[in-house]
Structure 1
Amino acid sequence: MTYERLQTGARTPLDAVVVEVKQIFGRSVADVSSVDEIAGLPVPVRQALLEAERLRLERKLNRIVVRIADEKLWNPAWGRLVEIA
């Protein structure tokens, strides 16, 4: 799966679910949000991506974007990150 990388500080797109990846206690975790959904507690990234896809379908949004400050926190097994053009 390919995910668009949203730069830190960039505006949240109205047509997307946002997965924000961060590091807590040395582990990569993420929370999920959208314009209509407030982020909950961080969960493992793979779980967050599954939740993001569920939310995308439920809310009829166009895409999932990933906000991540340090790309070293991303595991390629989760998918590919590409810069938003």
Structure 2
Amino acid sequence: MVRMTLTATVGEVFEIDLKSTPTTGYRWQPTDLPAGIELTESTFTPIPDAEPGDGGTQHFRLRGTTRGHYTIEFRLERSWNNEAVDTHTTDIDIT
């Protein structure tokens, strides 16, 4: 489990980047996003010059719509199995 903290202003887009190897079937998924935070985009960037099966980074771009303190949890899991093998929690202060 990893935990981090960040600060953003209302309307500002911020990014959470998580290492990932989607060829294993595991992908990071946000749990229920709190009111006041919206997901604007989710993308994946492979490692440059990677071999087949190598990983990369999942990028989650989010925006705070309302001031406050929020917690977002991401779970590393397969879509057909709700058992997380890892979690990442981010505490966000929107000012």
The two structures have a TM-score, normalised by structure 1, of: 0.30
Q: Flag the structure with larger Rg.
A: 2
Bigger share in helix = 1
Bigger share in strand = 2
The two structures have a TM-score, normalised by structure 2, of: 0.28
